[in-house]
Amino acid sequence: MKKPESRLALVRRARRINRELGELYPGAHCELDYDDAFQLLVAVVLSAQTTDRSVNNVTPTLFARYPDAEALAGAEPAELEAIIKPTGFFRAKSRALTGLAQALCDNFGGRVPRRHADLVTLPGVGRKTANVVLGEAYGVPGISVDTHFGRLARRFGWTAEDDPVKVEHEVGALFPKKDWTLLSHRVIFHGRRVCHARKPACGACGIASLCPSYGEGETDPDKARKLLKYELAGQPGQRLRPPATPVLATGAVPVIGAAPGEGTAT
């Protein structure tokens, strides 16, 4: 019977996973297109139950029509709904967007607040959205627990919790606060690129040696490679306006077909 992992061993393994994900995805970032905190906030609210790519497809039109909180607060529901309809749940999202825009105008002078406690008072804004906005727009560290992050945190053995708030707190306790934002991006990148929900590509995973869930997915290297989408190359496939620098470092590549004990190649 395998000896239970000690707390110290868990912390060391978790931080090594973070480091190695950093080598695999040195340009890991939020994959929503935005120019300022207001656009980011709106985009994150729209991203619920859809892909970042679908949000990026509608936001150029959305922000051209409603460039600030005042304009969005006065949007005609039918017009706004027509623009954001491809993101799904468009009626509820329309109400949330006009509500948060009005709250920004009424309570914060039309500006996106810099405090977590203020952000979560806005319609449609929960802890995850607040953490994304604070980390991306204002440099305030935070862990963003979306479906990818929660799934991988459990597979990595960092937590057994399903509740996003509990996941956030348990995982946060394993890492220095300064690492939280980048950790979120790296884990989400890996979840989108390799460690898929239904069939993780274990045989094409660069951190297989550190994962207690190795074997839950396809371990055959050739078959695992076929499961990869745009993601393995690290290209920012969600974005319409990608960053100039590649997301995947040229000097660090996943070991295709790495079995436990093999890790990554540089």
Per-residue model confidence (pLDDT) at position 250: 33
pLDDT digits (tens, 9 = 90+) for 27-81: 888 889 999 999 999 999 999 999 898 999 999 999 999 999 999 999 999 999 9
Whether the Cβ atoms of residue 253 and residue 230 lie closer than 8 Å to each other: no
pLDDT digits (tens, 9 = 90+) for 139-170: 999 999 999 999 999 999 999 999 999 999 99
User: Model-level pTM?
Assistant: 0.85
Judge whether 199 counts as a catalytic residue. no
- Separation of alpha carbons 25 and 23, rounded Å: 6
Judge whether 146 counts as a catalytic residue. yes
- Separation of alpha carbons 70 and 202, rounded Å: 48
Q: Which is catalytic among the residues 33, 52, 93, 128?
A: 128
Confidence of residue 248 (pLDDT cuts 50, 70, 90): very low
- Separation of alpha carbons 75 and 163, rounded Å: 34
Cα 125 to Cα 19, 139, 154, 199: the distances in Å are 30, 18, 25, 31
Whether the Cβ atoms of residue 59 and residue 33 lie closer than 8 Å to each other: yes
Q: Which is catalytic among the residues 35, 146, 166, 222?
A: 146
Per-residue model confidence (pLDDT) at position 137: 93
- Separation of alpha carbons 197 and 27, rounded Å: 23
